[in-house]
Amino acid sequence: MSSLTKGFLSLTDRSSLRIRIPARIVKLATHLLTGQQVAIKIIDKKAIGDDLPRVKTELDALKKLCHQHICRLYQYIETEHKFYVVMEYCSGGELFDYIVRKNRLEESEARHFFRQLVQAMAYVHASGFAHRDLKPTYT
């Protein structure tokens, strides 16, 4: 990873910020020129197999979207075996984990999250894209 990001990104090795899900690892990094923290998803191409063209299409689409309720994709780097996806670092974590921690949401809070979701999806659709997999767990 260091040869890919040399001069631009510095990985922060904090195990609490590393998330392992099938075919992906997420790490926190710092952009060396701006000091901005970013999340880097490391996606193993072998694990996504035949979905490779779909993943590339989705990454290209997400790169075009810029909305306050959508995690921004800044760039992705493709190597022979992996994708390194540089995204906005969202420190709040996943909505699912938040709901589990609270046990339940008050109606006003659920309405607040739902409004943000609807605004984001309206923007996505107005931009000519559709989201086929909405859920409160995402990394």
Q: Which is more confidently placed, 125 or 3?
A: 125
Q: Which is more confidently placed, 82 or 6?
A: 82
Record the pTM.
0.75
DSSP string of 50-87? GGHHHHHHHHHHHHH---TTSPPEEEEEE-SSEEEEEE
Residue type (1 letter), 81: H
For residue 46, give both structure tokens: 């072998």
Domain ranges of the chain: 2-92
Q: Which is more confidently placed, 47 or 7?
A: 47
**CA nearest neighbour of 66 among 95, 84, 83, 87:** 87
> What's the CA gap between 66 and 64, in Å, rounded?
7
Asked about 133 being catalytic, the answer comes back as: yes
Residues comprising the chain, all counted? 139
Say which of 44, 60, 97, 133 is annotated catalytic. Answer: 133
- Burial (CB count <10 Å: 0-12, 13-18, 19+), residue 9: buried
* 57 φ/ψ angles, rounded to the nearest 5 degrees: -60, -45
CATH of 2-92, one of 3.30.465.10, 1.10.390.10, 3.30.200.20, 3.30.428.10: 3.30.200.20
Taking only the tens place, the pLDDT of each residue in 59-102 is 998 999 999 999 899 999 999 999 999 999 988 888 888 899 99
Question: Would you say residue 57 has pLDDT above 80?
Answer: yes
Rounded to the nearest integer, the mean pLDDT of the chain is 81
